[in-house]
Amino acid sequence: MKKLAVVAAQQKREIYEALRRGDGPPLGTFDSDVLRSGREKGQVQMGTTTFFPYRIVYEFLFQDRNGSAVILSVSVEPEERIVYMPVPKWVVENIWQGDVTGTFVFESESRELMDELTGSLTPEGNESLFGARAAIGKD
């Protein structure tokens, strides 16, 4: 199964490398006038990535020595709908410090995560959650 974070990182890197070579973005839609204006400013830098249900927007900055910048937005249609996974209320209620809000994942990944959660609520699946637990790391 593909992970949204991996796909987005690969796409962003592919677009960035093309821009560094002086080419246009190899995927997605963008304003060619903004790209032309950006190239006049200087070298490209990676900007933010923003997720929407049916698109990913990658931003690339072109900045001159005076600090003036042009931002090129490249909009890419994802292979499937993107879902924002909120943190269940019971998790938020048990957080003592910090802000926990959720994460963006593909719809298929969100369904797998929900199936895993549902499975952990059965008597058999839930029993192993009681007692001492090892620290949980990110995949």
Q: Write out the two tokens for 120.
A: 């952990």
Instruction: Inform me whether the pLDDT recorded for 124 exceeds 90.
Output: no
According to the model, what pLDDT value does residue 60 have? 98
For the chain, give the mean pLDDT. 86
For every residue of the chain, which 3-state class applies, written as one string?
A: CCCHHHHHHHHHHHHHHHHHHCCCCCCCECCHHHHHHHHHHCCEEEEEEEEECCEEEEEEEEECCCCCEEEEEEEECCCCCEEEEECCHHHHHCCCCCCCCEEEEEHHHHHHHHHHHHHHCCHHHHHCCCCCCCCCCCC
Instruction: Inform me whether the pLDDT recorded for 108 exceeds 80.
Output: yes
Q: Give residue-wise pLDDT tens across range 44-103.
A: 999 999 999 999 999 999 998 888 899 999 999 999 999 887 666 556 555 666 666 677
Q: Domain limits of the chain?
A: 4-76, 82-126
Instruction: Inform me whether the pLDDT recorded for 134 exceeds 70.
Output: no
